[in-house]
Structure 1
Amino acid sequence: MLVGHIQQIVRHPIKSFSGEFVQKSKIMDYGLYGDRSHAYIDESRNGDFLTITRFPEMVRYKARFVGEERMDEYPRVEVTTPEGNVFDWEDEELISDLEEKSQRKISTTEYTPSHVPIGPIAVEHILLTTDASLNYLEEKWGKDRIDFRRFRPNLFISLKDKRPFIEEEWMGKRIRIGSEVEIELVGHCKRCMIITVDPDNAERDSSLHKTLIKDRDNNFGVYASVIKTGDIHVNDEVILID
């Protein structure tokens, strides 16, 4: 059954940095090719990942892959700072900038195209959200338009039946994307303070999180496991497999 189309594909070459909109992507066993494949480590917290939770300004840094996407190694990762400066992700000047702003000692870590562990990604391979659910929450919040980037999904789906949170009814079922990829919906995404951070200016507004907690038990978006790998594209059909 046709339930919608892929409206946006978003991968995050660096964990907690602004994502990269792509027209197509390979779905690997771990999720989108290169998603959260690079990360900064907060050495002041026993080597935990540095994230938006502790350094909200991270949302204003943009990361993207530059070059050929290969299976033996990733392309170069390029970072654009809020000031518009462009660096390689391991450039010493960029690291110093991040350390000064975050007031933390930072190191780097990266994975391979064939393997990114669940930890850097989240608790599952892929996170998806839908336009109808976003519109519903926007109406309930009643303040501003909500940029779906606040929720950091990999797949943003335009639904055929604009029924909010219909994706939660797909739990335990599989969907096919395009002609190759299959994923299985496995669980709710419980939200944290990250959704309170505006992806453009890093300003915080806790009222959005309070609205979601009150109205949706703090759930927004669903996690999925990869069943069949392959290529996906923007505008691919999303088929619910009964």
Structure 2
Amino acid sequence: MDAVLGTIERIWRYPIKSTGGERLEAAAVDGRGLVGDRLYAVRDAEGRFGSGKNTRRFRRMPGLLRLTSRYPGGAEVPELLDEDGVPVPDPTAYLRRRLGREDIEVAREGTVSHFDQLPLSLLTTATLDWVRAAVPGVPVDERRFRPNLLVRTPPGTRPFVEDEWFGGAARIGEDLRVRFERSSERCVMTNEAQPGLPHSPLILRAIARAHDTRLDALATVTRPGRVRLGDPVQLIGR
């Protein structure tokens, strides 16, 4: 009998990369990941993406995580919401004013992928509970780590149990199949302020000390399907 790793507790999609996402009750998943996930990004004239850090690929644009994006009513183009949750009429114009930059735009993915690593990120409640215990007094929920799927694990499950999944495949719900590949290497984005979550450097420090800055399970999609709240996540082999 296939081992049940847990059940889907929450589903997250991030229509505009590096902004807050939307919680869903169900989502279609194809080879790219959740349909519409990170399909848009804030991009500058050099082709770098808005983020909380500066690298060859990213341009630091403070405050993006205080904003939210969503696909309203099944729309194909996402909506950007300000810090009060109010939709803005022109996301590019709004961000140019907010950030004081005229060289940025909200752009759809082209030849360069918006994903930092792999299509799907899964995080367990066991690991999330460990983070909360490691930084007492600091508000923590899964938004710090931007997973697509939060998996409710059975009582007594050890933190970082995701490591045991690597190299294995899983069935999620009726038809979705994924393969667990590796974990994400975390960066300063975990410390950034979001609505209800203040800035704190303690989070990344705790993960670095305990688990070499790695946290979650990254997966590829081997059979497209749908994921729904409450779906079981079943290990089906290696």
Name the counterpart of 1:22.
Answer: 24
Structure 2 matches for 1:203-242, cutoff 5 A? 203-242=198-237
| Matched AA of 1:77 | P
Inter-CA distance 76–108: structure 2 relative to 1 (3 Å threshold): closer
SS across alignment from 2:36: coil
SS across alignment from 2:105: strand
Inter-CA distance 148–186: structure 2 relative to 1 (3 Å threshold): same
TM superposition score normalised by structure 2: 0.89
Inter-CA distance 159–100: structure 2 relative to 1 (3 Å threshold): same
1:136 matches 2:136: no
Inter-CA distance 118–185: structure 2 relative to 1 (3 Å threshold): farther
| Matched AA of 1:160 | P
| Matched AA of 1:14 | I
Query: How far has the Cα of 1:203 moved from its partner?
Result: 4.1
Partners of 2:236 and 2:227 lie apart in 1 by: 17
Structure 2 matches for 1:147-186, cutoff 5 A? 147-161=141-155, 162-186=157-181
SS across alignment from 1:67: helix
- Do the aligned partners of 2:140 and 2:197 also contact (CA within 8 Å) in 1? no
Inter-CA distance 196–26: structure 2 relative to 1 (3 Å threshold): same
Name the counterpart of 1:57.
Answer: 63
Inter-CA distance 214–237: structure 2 relative to 1 (3 Å threshold): same
Inter-CA distance 140–203: structure 2 relative to 1 (3 Å threshold): closer
Query: How far has the Cα of 1:57 moved from its partner?
Result: 1.0
Q: After superposition, give the CA deviation of every residue in 1:103-147 in whole Å (9 maximum; x if it has no partner).
A: 332123214xxxx87731221010111100011121122232311
Q: Which runs of 5+ in 2 are unaligned?
A: 54-59
Partners of 1:178 and 1:117 lie apart in 2 by: 32
Partners of 1:117 and 1:183 lie apart in 2 by: 24
Partners of 1:95 and 1:78 lie apart in 2 by: 11
Partners of 1:19 and 1:179 lie apart in 2 by: 25
- Do the aligned partners of 2:126 and 2:158 also contact (CA within 8 Å) in 1? yes
| Matched AA of 1:81 | D
- Do the aligned partners of 2:139 and 2:198 also contact (CA within 8 Å) in 1? no
1:107 matches 2:105: yes
How many residues are treated as equivalent by the alignment? Answer: 227
Counting aligned pairs with the same residue, the percent is: 27
Partners of 2:126 and 2:153 lie apart in 1 by: 7
SS across alignment from 2:71: strand
Name the counterpart of 2:57.
Answer: none
Name the counterpart of 1:75.
Answer: 76
Partners of 1:81 and 1:21 lie apart in 2 by: 17
- Do the aligned partners of 1:197 and 1:204 also contact (CA within 8 Å) in 2? yes
- Do the aligned partners of 1:2 and 1:160 also contact (CA within 8 Å) in 2? no
Q: After superposition, give the CA deviation of every residue in 1:177-227 in whole Å (9 maximum; x if it has no partner).
A: 001011111011100100001321674211211111111110111210000
Q: After superposition, give the CA deviation of every residue in 1:92-113 in whole Å (9 maximum; x if it has no partner).
A: xx433312332332123214xx
TM superposition score normalised by structure 1: 0.87
- Do the aligned partners of 1:56 and 1:202 also contact (CA within 8 Å) in 2? no
- Do the aligned partners of 2:96 and 2:104 also contact (CA within 8 Å) in 1? yes
